[in-house]
Amino acid sequence: MRLINSLNIKFKLAILFFILCTSIAVLGYKSINISEQNKQTLKVVHSKSQTVLSLQNRIITPLYRLREITQSLVMAPNKEIRAGIEKNLDELVKSLDIQFKRLSDSQIKVKQMWKNYKYLIETIKGYLHEEFEEGAYVNVTTSSRKQFHLLTNELLSIQSRYLNNATVAYSQAVLKSKEIKVEILTSIIVILLFATIVGWLVSSNIIQSIYKVQNGLKEFFNYLNHKKSGVKKIEIDTRDEFYQMATIINQNVSNIQNNIEQNEALIKNATKVLENIKLGNLGTRLSQETNSNALNELKKMINDMIDNLEIKIQNEIDKRVEQEQILIQQSKLAAMGEMIGNIAHQWRQPLAQISAIHMNMKVTYDFNKFTKDYLNNKIKEANKLTSYMSQTISDFQNFFKPQGEKEEFSVEKACKEAYFIIESSLKYHGIELSFDVKEDGKVYGYKNEYSQVILNVLSNAKDILIERGIKQPAINIEIKSGDNYEIVKIEDNAGGIKDSIIDKIFDPYFTTRHKTLGTGIGLYMSKNIIERNMSGHINVRNINNGALFTIKVEKSTLST
């Protein structure tokens, strides 16, 4: 054992390699002898098997095919088909003639049977040429059939003898193989015993060294995973390559321990800095040093990120605020334009009535029928109309006034308030609006904003009905209560929305109208109000002859 400890691994492996080469050489020599003997045996078996296979492929299989063609010839319905079958029959007969001639002279009986069978086939053909189908049929089912079976039985008998010869050759090969197996097993046992003894001595020495290195590395990995204090050095008694490996591992483990401690300190420092960033404190920086270039680069990147993060965040906030302000301003301007248009429609009739009062007063005055009572009555009528116009302004102001707090409100009432704003404009353009209230319910949210959404959808429906010149334009508002949502469906008969743009109509600044006629933010703001401010859903789809907007807002739980 001392001798083995003093050897290096190369020499130990050289001994094992020499034993391996010797074993392979002996077994190789034996294998070559066996393969040569098996080659001769297999050559004999193969030769006899090929004879059997050749007889089957050259004569027996085509003979069965000939029988099928002969039967097909007899059963053919007309001369044209028989001509084609007879051609194939003649070719196959010629081919079989050649194969039977190749048989050995000892197969005279088979050759004579073939001649008899071939004669019967010619007889069948003769009957068919003379249009004596009954004779051909009787021949093919009696004499020809009998001769065919005699011929095939004789061929199968010959094939059986060939197979028996192959079986005998195979049995001899099996016996020879058993003898060779015994010889090979004896050689293998002797070689394995010798190789096992020498290999065990050499490998046990190597395995002991590997085991010590493995335990040392296992302790080191446990230190990495569980941060256990202290790692034992690897002690190797031999003076081979494992001793050198253990020395290098011990040095590297010591260096890695120092680097890990520095890296952990940097990571802890980084964690504290990130926690400060999470709390909004961007004033701290990483200061811990480490030997890892990657961690030093990460430290520099984190410090640079912190330096720029506050400025970038503030710039982004400023941009968002500016964009939101622009969007809100555009929405207000668009709403104001709609409001002015709706006020104009609301005031058109009262102004006409006031103008009629003035004309009536002038005519009365011209006919000298102007009295104090008459003047007072007309003033009262005019005051009543101006009071209605003033009330209209108040209603519009209340409708568009921002609402600070959420409240519980009726869906039907909110929809009808939106209808009041646009009612005169709808009537002016001859658009019929109907309500189908299946079940009114209450929701919790911003009432004015909800009514504004209804007004936006109604305004869009009105605009598209006018733009497309729809005959008998109509809008229907259906209000119903679901299991979890209060649902409003607004349907028009304007022909629907193009499939190419239906997914874009809720995008900001998207509009199908000229930029002077629309801003493209009404439906975008509506989607934000319903989905962001009221946790609901709004969507649109095309139906038979128009578009259907569905607005769903969760039911209020205050009343339950």
DSSP character at residue 475 = E
Of 363-367, 424-428, 455-459, 507-511, the least confident: 507-511
Residue 359's pLDDT band, with cuts at 50, 70 and 90, is: confident
Q: Is the pLDDT of residue 63 over 90?
A: no
- What mean pLDDT comes out for the span 359-368? 80
List CB contacts of 455: < 8 A, sequence separation 6 or more.
338, 418, 421, 422
- What mean pLDDT comes out for the span 170-176? 72
Residue type at 464 in one-letter notation? I
Residue 5's nearest CA partner among 240, 215, 242 is: 240
pLDDT of residue 517: 47
Distance CA 306, CA 276 (A): 11
131 forms bridges with which residues in the sheet? none
Residue 556's nearest CA partner among 402, 407, 448, 439 is: 407
- What mean pLDDT comes out for the span 432-451? 91
The percentage of residues in the chain with a pLDDT greater than 70, rounded to a whole number, is 66
Residue 431's pLDDT band, with cuts at 50, 70 and 90, is: very high
Q: How many CA atoms lie within 13 A of 253 on its CB side?
A: 22
Distance CA 442, CA 424 (A): 27
Distance CA 225, CA 215 (A): 15
Residue 512's pLDDT band, with cuts at 50, 70 and 90, is: low
Q: What are phi and psi of 97, to 5 degrees?
A: -55, -45
Residue 23's nearest CA partner among 261, 184, 158, 259 is: 184
Q: Is the pLDDT of residue 160 over 80?
A: no
115-143 pLDDT, tens digit per residue, is 888 888 888 888 878 878 787 777 778 87
Residue 321's pLDDT band, with cuts at 50, 70 and 90, is: low
448-485 pLDDT, tens digit per residue, is 888 888 988 998 899 899 999 999 999 999 999 988 99
Any idea which residue has 């609006």 for tokens?
A: 433
- What mean pLDDT comes out for the span 212-227? 67
- With H, G, I as helix, E, B as strand and everything else as coil, classify residue 86: helix
260-282 pLDDT, tens digit per residue, is 766 667 677 777 767 776 666 66
Of 150-154, 314-318, 362-366, the least confident: 314-318
92-103 pLDDT, tens digit per residue, is 888 888 878 877
- What mean pLDDT comes out for the span 437-457? 89
Q: Is the pLDDT of residue 492 over 90?
A: yes
Q: How far is CA 15 from CA 1, 210, 406, in A?
A: 15, 19, 92
Distance CA 72, CA 82 (A): 8
Residue pair 478/438 in contact (Cβ under 8 Å)? The answer is yes
Distance CA 30, CA 183 (A): 9
Residue 542's pLDDT band, with cuts at 50, 70 and 90, is: very high
To 5 degrees, how large is the angle CA 113–CA 115–CA 121? 105
Residue pair 257/223 in contact (Cβ under 8 Å)? The answer is yes
pLDDT of residue 257: 67
Q: Note the Cα 527 to chain centre separation in Å.
A: 30
Q: Which two tokens stand for residue 96?
A: 């079989």
- What mean pLDDT comes out for the span 495-505? 90
DSSP character at residue 232 = P
Task: Find which of 291-305, 314-328, 384-398, 448-462 is predicted with most confidence, using mean pLDDT.
Answer: 448-462
Of 148-152, 163-167, 345-349, the least confident: 345-349
Q: Is the pLDDT of residue 290 over 80?
A: no
Residue 419's nearest CA partner among 387, 402, 395 is: 395
Of 383-387, 422-426, 518-522, the least confident: 518-522
Residue 370's nearest CA partner among 362, 382, 359 is: 362
pLDDT of residue 342: 60
pLDDT of residue 520: 59
List CB contacts of 348: < 8 A, sequence separation 6 or more.
424, 428
318 vs 489: which has the higher pLDDT: 489
Q: Is the pLDDT of residue 389 over 70?
A: no
pLDDT of residue 515: 47
E strands, 385-484, in order: 407-410, 432-437, 442-445, 474-481
- With H, G, I as helix, E, B as strand and everything else as coil, classify residue 452: helix
- 193 burial via Cβ count (<10 Å: 0-12, 13-18, 19+): exposed
Q: What is the dihedral of CA 56, 57, 63, 69, to 10 degrees?
A: 140
- With H, G, I as helix, E, B as strand and everything else as coil, classify residue 492: strand
The torsion region of residue 101 among left (phi > 0), alpha (psi -120 to 50) and beta comes to alpha
Distance CA 539, CA 555 (A): 18
